[in-house]
Amino acid sequence: AYFRQDDPQWLIDMIPDWDVKDVVPSPVLGFSFDSEPVKTELSMLQTVIDEYYSALCYGVLDPEEQLPLFLAKLKEAGLDKVVAETQAQIDAWRAAQ
């Protein structure tokens, strides 16, 4: 971490010393997702997220009732297709490495 000269000592003490030898890089470091094949689904997913996410997070909607509906609407909007496309692209990217 980088600190400014005027950062208080208590803040500096809160940040642990990370040992970089323990850092494990992501197995998909360098992968770039091409959203073009699922751009329609991504748009529909965003619409569902815009409708439910904030209201669920802030307790405006009852999660007992609305969370299952939210998840069902995500599936209807194409979540499984986006996940499958992402996995297919990762698999192809790995094979080319």
What is the pLDDT of the chain when averaged over all its residues? 93
Tell me the per-residue pLDDT of 19-62, one tens digit each, with 9 for 90 and over.
667 778 899 999 999 999 999 999 999 999 999 999 999 999 99
pTM for this prediction: 0.76
Please give the pLDDT value at position 12.
81
CB distance 90 to 28 below 8 Å: yes
Please give the pLDDT value at position 13.
82
Please give the pLDDT value at position 25.
87
User: pLDDT-derived band of residue 1, with 50, 70 and 90 as boundaries?
Assistant: low
**CA-based angle 36:40:42, to the nearest 5?**
80
Closest CA to 42 of 14, 83, 11: 83
